[in-house]
Amino acid sequence: MRVAVLGAGSWGTALASALAENRCEVTIWARDARITQQIQSEHINTRYLPNAKLPASLRATTDLKTALMDAEVVIYVVPSAAMREVVELSRPLLSGAPILCHAVKGFDPTTGSTMTDLLLEYHPDARDRFCVIAGPSHAEEVVEGLPTTIVAAAYTRATAEAIQDLLMSKVLRVYTNPDVKGAELGGALKNIIALGVGIADGLGFGDNAKAALMTRGLTEIARIGLKLGASVLTFAGLSGVGDLIVTCTSLHSRNYRTGKLLGQGKSLEEALAEVGMAVEGVNATRIAIQLASSHGVEMPIANALSDVLFHGKPPRAAVEDLMGRARVHEIEEVARDQISASWN
Ligand SMILES: NC(=O)c1ccc[n+]([C@@H]2O[C@H](COP(=O)([O-])OP(=O)(O)OC[C@H]3O[C@@H](n4cnc5c(N)ncnc54)[C@H](O)[C@@H]3O)[C@@H](O)[C@H]2O)c1
Ligand SMILES: O=P(O)(O)OC[C@H](O)CO
């Protein structure tokens, strides 16, 4: 199977590596020739995964046309802010009817769209060939061959199973899911909560605060997710609570690390510069509070994050506001048809 992976950051490199290990013919595309040359000739990517040895069969190019030539599967793995540009550049270069997959955990910054809604703008007839790769998967562990589970979510069973078969290995277990929206929202929105947990740790709070943020954060994610058509069981799965746990607890997480630096008193600019890679939670916070407001949904943690990130509120004051909210019930009612999704 010929696969083009567009984006040679941490996750693009790790996914391309896993696919090449699975005997796929993989070409990874990046803009930076230093990175493609390193991957192609030295089988390393020191900027993004300094400790990893990559498969010798993995090819790399800065020429998008070469990467996409005869590709049967195209996987977009750039930060969400770059997705529109890369989808636009790649569209005229696609041949045949490849599966269009993405592994991006964020929203289009201009329109607030999910990544498959963005893809649909450019490929309105290809919905059945869309697939989302989501779930708890830090690139640093995947590239080391440490056991990992992920989700392939697609509108059709055939597409989901094609990606499942492509990625499954002794160390990478892939589950399918028909709930594309839920998988995407879980992946994008958990980044907000990871920023919050990082802030709590940076402030010196304890495990109780961490558990509270993760649990009530998941409630917020499910609440807006249901309004947007996702199924609640997806949020109890790998792309929901699974990814929330890994991102809020792993030192690999760029969102968690950014939050921790904020809690320790760094400015957002300082924290982002120190982390130096894609931190999707910042834009996701902005989009989440817009979505919450337009759908009449309460997202107090996202609002508190927005105050800290964009309005200069000291993190400790934001926590005091959260703790001082009016009393509420814990559990909300969910309609039966919103519990799980299924293919026909
Ligand atoms: N790193 C992980 O462990 C991981 C795991 C799962 C999902 N993701 C998601 O994958 C996406 C990509 O993250 P990452 O970790 O690979 O980021 P990264 O910061 O490690 O790398 C981003 C890459 O995208 C490239 N890029 C940026 N703008 C571009 C543009 N306009 N055109 C072409 N290339 C561009 C950069 O040069 C870089 O190579 C994010 O949405 C992230 O949430 C990451
Ligand atoms: O490093 P983060 O915070 O972008 O998280 C990476 C992945 O989403 C974890 O599954």
| Shared-domain flag, residues 210 and 256 | yes
pLDDT for 81: 98
Whether the per-residue pLDDT at 336 is higher than 80: the answer is no
| Shared-domain flag, residues 54 and 11 | yes
Domain that holds residue 158: 2-178
Q: Are 190 and 250 in contact (CB under 8 A)?
A: no
Q: 178, 199, 222 — which closes off a domain?
A: 178
pLDDT for 332: 81
pLDDT for 337: 78
Q: Is 257 in the pocket of ligand 1 (CB under 6 A)?
A: no
Query: How far is 268 from 259, CA to CA, in rounded Å?
Result: 9
Q: Does residue 190 have an active-site annotation?
A: yes
Phi and psi dihedrals of 251, rounded to 5?
Answer: -70, -10
Closest ligand 2 atom to Cα of 278: 4
| Shared-domain flag, residues 215 and 133 | no
Q: 329 C-alpha to center of ligand 2: Å? A: 31
Mean pLDDT of 299-304: 98
Q: 53 C-alpha to center of ligand 2: Å? A: 21
CA-based end-to-end distance of the chain? 28
| Shared-domain flag, residues 37 and 166 | yes
Least confident of 17-31, 181-195, 282-296, 319-333: 319-333
Whether the per-residue pLDDT at 334 is higher than 90: the answer is no
Give me the chain's average pLDDT, please: 97
Q: Is 30 in the pocket of ligand 1 (CB under 6 A)?
A: yes
pLDDT for 338: 83
Closest ligand 1 atom to Cα of 86: 32
Which tens digit of pLDDT belongs to each residue from 86-117? 999 999 999 999 999 999 999 999 999 999 99
Query: How far is 194 from 24, CA to CA, in rounded Å?
Result: 34
* Res. 315 pLDDT band, cuts 50 70 90: very high
pLDDT for 344: 79
Which tens digit of pLDDT belongs to each residue from 146-167? 999 999 999 999 999 999 999 9
pLDDT for 335: 78
Which tens digit of pLDDT belongs to each residue from 211-242? 999 999 999 999 999 999 999 999 999 999 99
| Shared-domain flag, residues 55 and 95 | yes
Q: Is 240 in the pocket of ligand 1 (CB under 6 A)?
A: no
Q: 319 C-alpha to center of ligand 1: Å? A: 30
pLDDT for 208: 98
Q: Domain with 185 in it: what CATH number?
A: 1.10.1040.10
Whether 181 has a binding-site annotation, put simply, is no
* Res. 58 pLDDT band, cuts 50 70 90: very high
pLDDT for 196: 98
Query: How far is 14 from 139, CA to CA, in rounded Å?
Result: 5
* Res. 246 pLDDT band, cuts 50 70 90: very high
Residue 209 lies in a domain: yes
Mean pLDDT of 275-283: 97
76 alpha carbon, closest ligand: 1
Q: 154, 178, 202 — which closes off a domain?
A: 178
| Shared-domain flag, residues 23 and 152 | yes
Residue 270 lies in a domain: yes
Task: Enumerate long-range contacts of 32-41, CB under 8 Å, 24 or more apart.
Answer: 32/8, 32/62, 33/62, 35/8, 35/60, 36/8, 36/60, 36/61, 36/62, 39/8, 39/13
Q: Domain with 35 in it: what CATH number?
A: 3.40.50.720
Whether 8 has a binding-site annotation, put simply, is yes
Whether the per-residue pLDDT at 327 is higher than 80: the answer is yes
Quote the ipTM score: 0.99
Query: How far is 260 from 266, CA to CA, in rounded Å?
Result: 9
DSSP 219-280: HHHHHHHHHTT--HHHHTSIIIIIHHHHHHH-TT-HHHHHHHHHHTT--HHHHHHHH-S--T
| Shared-domain flag, residues 134 and 210 | no
30-136-334 Cα angle (round to 5): 125
Q: 146, 178, 210 — which closes off a domain?
A: 178
Q: Which residues pair with 131 in a beta bridge?
A: 101, 154
| Shared-domain flag, residues 148 and 159 | yes
Catalytic residue among 170, 181, 190, 210: 190
> In sequence order, what are the residues at sequence separation of 6 or more whose Cβ sits closer than 8 angstroms to the Cβ of residue 311?
none
Q: Are 176 and 157 in contact (CB under 8 A)?
A: yes
